[in-house]
């Protein structure tokens, strides 16, 4: 940067300016951005309506404001030569304006936020109840995880035998349970099967539905993992004199496991998330407790608390499985 | 040498910084028509950066670059227009994987030169023939070997009828048996009188085809001369060192 | 092996057995016909000692049945995993395991099979009446529910894609401040279960003065949820394009817009299509969750009809409708994915050659 200033010293400002910024398209130049900032500020302070539901004309101004703002932000952020502090201001004000607009024009009564949404006095004595719900959620999830992993593994192994007759049935199973929405399956097991004389309590119904469904996903993931092992690997191990069992144990499985673990972890996190669907059959898990208490208290704080608990449990897990997945992608890349 | 010929490239005091990293330290150079200038030097010397500054794939930090008399560092210059006069061949081919060999070649003539579909097609097939790939016109890049891909890339550069071509290590991603086929194509181009700037460590090719060698180290041209002079009697100790490693 | 054996057995040729041992002697014990045949007879005999028809009452009986099934599975697995067993034997084994499973399910699930036709496939009840106060038949109501399901999916997909694209473009600016907020957005909506978000919007927001209709809440939830996933898909698509592609286009003199239109987008679309398609299929499935906020889409309609008619046929019909639509879509999206994978592999091999 320092060197650019050394270019011929006695040039006019305009010429120096043009040499420095002339290559930029119009919307990234300062002569466009500075007036634009002023216009945006003027609209913002003079024309935008105060808190509450805007009229159509005011909506129009909000729209114009947003479009200009986006132009302004894009002009600044797409140009890596803009100083860092200008970029930071642009980004922060963009996010701030969006948040502020939501605050102002969503029609929400923010004064009710603490009494209706985060009312800790309502929660008094309910934490234990929610905790039990969370325990039920975890119990259903863990049991279903175990069953679906084992069942999925069995199905995947049976599929890897490549028997055409068996495959027909396995593919039907996998296609059926992957295509049907889990909530439909849950409802079906709990509400329809009793008409056949198969009566299962909500807990068993939930475990059965979730396990059957996720076993199909697990089976597909494991099969893809086994198939992803390059055939050259088998040939190389055979050439080294390894038996087929040794090849499986020493070469295929270690690689397959590395390939399979990230997507399987993702599936298991999804399973934990999907246990919330069993609320519909009255299983007393976390969401159900949140809803029940919301109804009893006529205050949605328990529901909000349940949502927060879900986030606390699930966010780290989602991050973790995403991390595993990116890492495995890198590994696959270097392995090629 | 060659003062009677047209001046194609003139570089005056070219500096390039990446943040605080001073990569090119005041290069001066003139290239005349039909010269084949080979650039050698250790990795990280700034050879690629130099080439890429010449068609402004990198912005020069300071200095002047004249391509056929046009100052490309000036703001009013339409760089895309200059780029059409400069072909560029990359180490990693950079063919467009969603287009066939022929479509790769036709893309720029049609969209930049506004050539008619028919003319571009005809020209594309001629060029494929020239690089010995007429039967691969409809193959996608991932169906071609590395050497074939690089020859298509050369044909793609030639399709714009450039006045000069830059090669940045065109053979270093290739298996040995494919290097020859690419070098042959480049050899023919040199014989036809194309102005070429070549970063390459293929000493055999340089000895035969190059009219001049530049040795770069640490962002400076430390030595310059005919292949005979530089390869047989290197003056600078770093050149001797470098040559002993690659030969 | 065979040719060696024929010329001269070392101790004369008066035995008949050696050929059997010569043929199968190298096979480990559990793959020999002696063992498999014995096990088969044992399993056949045990079948007669299994408990009688009806749902077993004690855990012990359940374990007994499970062990029996696992033993059959073991037997079948041995045969199927052996390359040297003849094909007809493998076919029998495969059919056998399916039959045994079906038979065990039939015997011990506790289902009253005599009721199957009346309870699950009672088509008259569907065409005869609708739910309370309606004048049309249940069939029509189900189809109306399906139509609403498709509409929900359609609008969620459109809005989710647009929002996801905007987020991806913002993400592509690589601004640390924006990225911070984008990461929060994406993480939040990927972590929270859809049903929780939907209930929050539909049941909790009104307490804040934000009252949205069921359909709007549903579409909003699905849009927010999918925007997180779709933006990640687009981001991966944009990032998957090698920077050399842009450079090559620039060197040819293409303008920024031309580079985008002729080089980047066609490639990005190819990368993005398969995961996008499977995401859309998932969204169509997720519309079923809207039934918890009283939207009369397919599932909710089926549940309502079922309790009104006191017969689960509407639920069976709804399931069938879901499968009818979703299986072809899922198949299609996995075909896309496989094609993509195949291309990826051949490209990787090509660049290895290069
Ligand atoms: N885009 C870039 N950003 C930062 N540094 C770079 C960039 N490109 C190249 N460099 C640095 O510039 C130096 C010269 O690089 P290059 O011209 O590629 O060398 P050569 O082609 O001679 O091997 C190297 O030290 C490299 O690290
Ligand atoms: Mg280089």
Q: Which ligand is nearest to the CA of B90?
A: 2
DSSP string of B17-64? Answer: EETTEEEEEEEEEEEETT-EEEEE--TTSSHHHHHHHHTTSS--SEEE
For residue A1, name the pLDDT band (cuts at 50, 70, 90).
very low
For residue A243, name the pLDDT band (cuts at 50, 70, 90).
low
Alpha-carbon gap, residue B99 to B144, rounded angstroms: 12
Residues C169, C107 share a domain: no
Look up tokens 């879900």; give the residue: A310
Residue A332 clears pLDDT 60, i.e. is over it: no
Residue A254 clears pLDDT 90, i.e. is over it: no
* Element spanning C42, H or E: helix C33-47
Question: Domain for residue C17, yes or no?
Answer: no
Nearest-by-Cβ selection for C191 from A77, A193, A314: A314
Residue A303 clears pLDDT 90, i.e. is over it: yes
Number of separate domains in chain C: 2
Residues C107, C167 share a domain: no
Domain boundary among C111, C141, C164: C111
Residues C319, C216 share a domain: yes
Question: Domain for residue C4, yes or no?
Answer: no
Residues C188, C287 share a domain: yes
Domain boundary among C59, C78, C111: C111
Residues C227, C105 share a domain: no
Residue B187 clears pLDDT 90, i.e. is over it: yes
Taking only the tens place, the pLDDT of each residue in C84-126 is 788 888 899 999 999 999 999 998 888 888 888 888 888 888 8
Burial of residue C96, with CB atoms counted within 10 A of its CB: 0-12 exposed, 13-18 middle, 19 or more buried? middle
Q: Are A7 and B62 in contact (CB < 8 Å)?
A: yes
Residue C354 clears pLDDT 50, i.e. is over it: no
Question: Domain for residue C44, yes or no?
Answer: yes
Question: Domain for residue C225, yes or no?
Answer: yes
* Element spanning C139, H or E: helix C138-171
Question: Domain for residue C304, yes or no?
Answer: yes
CB contacts, 8 Å: C262 with chain B:
107, 111
CA-based nearest distance B87→chain C, Å: 7
For residue C6, name the pLDDT band (cuts at 50, 70, 90).
very low
Question: Domain for residue C135, yes or no?
Answer: yes
Taking only the tens place, the pLDDT of each residue in C143-183 is 999 999 999 999 999 999 999 998 988 887 888 888 999 99
Half-sphere exposure of C214 (CA within 13 A, CB side): 13
Residue C351 clears pLDDT 90, i.e. is over it: no
Residues 6+ apart with CB under 8 A from C332: C277
Q: What is the mean pLDDT of chain C?
A: 84
Interface ipTM above 0.90: no
Residues C188, C82 share a domain: no
Structural domains of chain A sorted by starting position, each given as residue range(s) with its CATH number in brackets: 23-108 (no CATH), 120-335 (1.10.3720.10)
Nearest-by-Cβ selection for A4 from B61, B75, B76: B61
Q: What is the mean pLDDT of chain B?
A: 91
pLDDT for B230 equals 92
Selected for mutation to probe chain B from A1, A3, A21 (highest B CB count within 10 Å) is: A3
pLDDT for A291 equals 93
Report the CATH number at residue C321: 1.10.3720.10
> Is the CB of residue A262 less than 8 Å from the CB of residue A322?
no
Q: Are A187 and C303 in contact (CB < 8 Å)?
A: yes
pLDDT for C343 equals 59
For residue A256, name the pLDDT band (cuts at 50, 70, 90).
confident
Residues C282, C140 share a domain: yes
pLDDT for C350 equals 38
Residues C172, C253 share a domain: yes
Residues C200, C92 share a domain: no
Q: Are B17 and A22 in contact (CB < 8 Å)?
A: no
Residues C93, C148 share a domain: no
Q: What is the mean pLDDT of chain A?
A: 84
For residue C182, give the chain A residue with the closest CA. A95
Taking only the tens place, the pLDDT of each residue in A55-100 is 888 888 888 888 898 888 888 887 777 788 888 888 898 889 888 8
Question: Domain for residue C350, yes or no?
Answer: no
A102 touches chain C (CB under 8 A): no
Query: In chain A, which ranges are continuous DSSP H helix?
Result: 13-21, 30-42, 56-77, 84-105, 120-123, 127-160, 164-179, 182-187, 202-228, 231-239, 244-246, 253-274, 286-297, 301-335
Question: Domain for residue C1, yes or no?
Answer: no
* C60: containing domain: 27-111
C347 touches chain B (CB under 8 A): yes
Residues 6+ apart with CB under 8 A from A295: none
Alpha-carbon gap, residue A214 to A178, rounded angstroms: 8
Alpha-carbon gap, residue C211 to A300, rounded angstroms: 14
Lowest average pLDDT, out of A137-151, B94-108, C216-230, C282-296, goes to B94-108
Selected for mutation to probe chain C from A26, A155, A187, A244 (highest C CB count within 10 Å) is: A187
CA distances from C294 to A276, B189, C217, C304 (A): 17, 74, 11, 10
Domain boundary among C81, C111, C141: C111
The angle that helices C313-353 and C138-171 make with each other, rounded to 10 degrees, is 30
Residues C189, C103 share a domain: no
Per this entry, what is the length of chain C? 354
C244 touches chain B (CB under 8 A): yes
* Element spanning B70, H or E: strand B70-71
Residues C147, C107 share a domain: no
| Segment B46-61 mean pLDDT | 90
> Which chains contact B through at least 3 pairs of Cβ atoms less than 8 Å apart?
A, C
Bigger pLDDT: A31 vs B47: B47
| Segment A306-314 mean pLDDT | 95
């Amino acid at each position: 940067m320092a060197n650019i200033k050394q270019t011929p010293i006695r040039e006019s400002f305009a010429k120096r300016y043009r040499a420095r910024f002339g290559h930029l398209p119009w919307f990234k130049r300062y002569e466009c951005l500075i007036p634009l900032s002023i216009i945006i500020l003027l609209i913002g302070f003079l024309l935008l309506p105060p808190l509450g539901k805007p009229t159509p004309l005011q909506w129009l101004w909000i729209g114009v404001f947003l479009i200009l703002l986006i132009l302004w932000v894009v002009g600044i952020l797409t140009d890596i030569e803009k100083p860092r502090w200008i970029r930071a201001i642009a980004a922060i004000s963009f996010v701030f304006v969006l948040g502020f607009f939501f605050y102002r024009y969503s029609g929400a009564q923010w004064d009710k936020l603490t009494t209706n949404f985060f009312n800790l006095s309502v929660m008094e004595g309910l934490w234990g109840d929610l905790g039990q719900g969370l325990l039920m959620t975890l119990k259903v999830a863990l049991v279903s995880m175990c069953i679906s992993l084992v069942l999925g593994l069995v199905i995947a192994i049976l599929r890897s035998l490549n028997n055409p007759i068996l495959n027909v049935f396995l593919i039907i199973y996998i296609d059926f349970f992957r295509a049907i929405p889990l909530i439909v399956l849950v409802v079906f097991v709990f509400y329809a099967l009793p008409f056949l004389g198969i009566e299962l309590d909500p807990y068993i119904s939930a475990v059965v539905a979730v396990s059957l469904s996720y076993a199909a996903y697990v089976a597909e993931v494991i099969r893809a993992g086994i198939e992803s092992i390059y055939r050259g690997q088998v040939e190389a191990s055979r050439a080294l004199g390894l038996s087929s069992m040794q090849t499986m144990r020493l070469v295929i499985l270690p690689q397959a496991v590395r390939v399979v673990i990230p997507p399987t972890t993702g599936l298991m996190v999804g399973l934990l998330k999907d246990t919330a669907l069993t609320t519909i059959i009255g299983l007393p898990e976390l969401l159900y407790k949140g809803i029940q208490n919301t109804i009893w208290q006529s205050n949605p704080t328990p529901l909000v608390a349940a949502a927060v608990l879900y986030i606390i449990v699930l966010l780290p897990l989602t991050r973790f499985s995403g991390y595993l997945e990116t890492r495995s992608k890198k590994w696959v890349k270097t392995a090629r | 040498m060659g003062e009677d010929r047209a001046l194609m490239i003139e570089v005056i005091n070219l500096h390039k910084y990446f943040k605080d990293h001073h990569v090119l330290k005041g290069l001066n150079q003139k290239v005349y028509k039909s010269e084949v200038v080979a650039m050698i030097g250790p990795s990280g010397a700034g050879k690629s950066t130099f080439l890429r500054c010449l068609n402004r794939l990198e912005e020069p930090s300071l200095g002047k670059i004249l391509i056929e008399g046009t100052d490309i560092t000036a703001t009013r210059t339409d760089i895309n227009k200059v780029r059409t006069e400069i072909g560029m061949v990359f180490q990693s081919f950079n063919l467009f994987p969603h287009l066939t060999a022929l479509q790769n070649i036709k893309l720029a003539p049609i969209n930049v030169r506004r050539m008619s579909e028919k003319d571009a097609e005809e020209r594309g097939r001629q060029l494929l023939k020239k690089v010995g790939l007429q039967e691969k016109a409809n193959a996608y890049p991932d169906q071609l070997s590395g050497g074939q891909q690089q020859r298509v890339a050369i044909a793609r550069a030639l399709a714009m009828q450039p006045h000069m071509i830059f090669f940045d290590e065109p053979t270093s991603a290739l298996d040995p048996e494919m290097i020859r086929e690419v070098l042959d194509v480049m050899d023919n181009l040199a014989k036809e009188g194309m102005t070429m700037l070549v970063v390459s460590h293929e000493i055999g090719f340089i000895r035969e085809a190059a009219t001049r060698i530049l040795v770069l180290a640490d962002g400076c041209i430390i030595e310059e001369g005919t292949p005979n002079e530089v390869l047989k009697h290197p003056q600078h100790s770093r050149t001797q060192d470098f040559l002993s490693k690659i030969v | 092996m065979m040719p060696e054996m024929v010329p001269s057995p070392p101790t004369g040729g008066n035995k008949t057995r050696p050929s059997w041992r010569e043929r199968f002697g190298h096979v480990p014990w559990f793959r020999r016909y002696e063992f498999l045949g014995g096990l088969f007879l044992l399993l056949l005999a045990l079948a007669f000692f299994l408990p009688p028809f009806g749902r077993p009452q004690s855990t012990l009986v359940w374990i007994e049945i499970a062990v029996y099934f696992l033993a059959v599975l073991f037997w079948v697995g041995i045969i199927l995993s052996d390359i040297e067993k003849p094909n007809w034997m493998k076919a029998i084994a495969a059919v056998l395991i399916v039959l045994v499973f079906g038979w065990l399910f039939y015997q011990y699930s506790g289902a009253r099979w005599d009721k199957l036709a009346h309870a699950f496939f009672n088509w008259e009840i569907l065409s005869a009446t609708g739910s309370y106060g309606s004048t049309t038949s249940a069939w029509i109501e189900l189809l109306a529910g399906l139509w609403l399901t498709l509409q929900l999916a359609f609008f969620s997909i459109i809005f989710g894609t647009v929002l996801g694209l905007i987020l991806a473009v913002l993400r592509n600016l690589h601004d640390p401040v924006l990225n911070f907020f984008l990461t929060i957005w994406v993480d939040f909506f990927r972590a929270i279960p859809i049903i929780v978000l939907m209930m929050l919007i539909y049941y909790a927001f009104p307490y804040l003065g934000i009252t949205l209709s069921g359909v709007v809440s549903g579409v909003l939830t699905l849009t927010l949820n999918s925007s997180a996933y779709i933006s990640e898909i687009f981001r991966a698509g944009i990032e998957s394009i090698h920077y050399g592609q842009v450079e090559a286009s620039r060197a040819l003199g293409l303008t920024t817009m031309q580079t985008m239109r002729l080089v980047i987008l066609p490639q990005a679309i190819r990368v993005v299509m398969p995961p996008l398609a499977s995401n859309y299929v998932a969204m169509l499935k997720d519309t079923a969750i809207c039934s918890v906020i009283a939207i009369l889409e397919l599932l909710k309609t089926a549940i309502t009809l079922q309790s009104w008619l006191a017969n689960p046929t509407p639920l069976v019909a709804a399931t069938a409708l879901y499968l009818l639509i979703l299986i072809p879509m899922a198949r299609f999206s996995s075909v896309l994915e496989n094609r993509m994978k195949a291309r990826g592999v051949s490209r990787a091999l090509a660049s290895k050659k290069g």
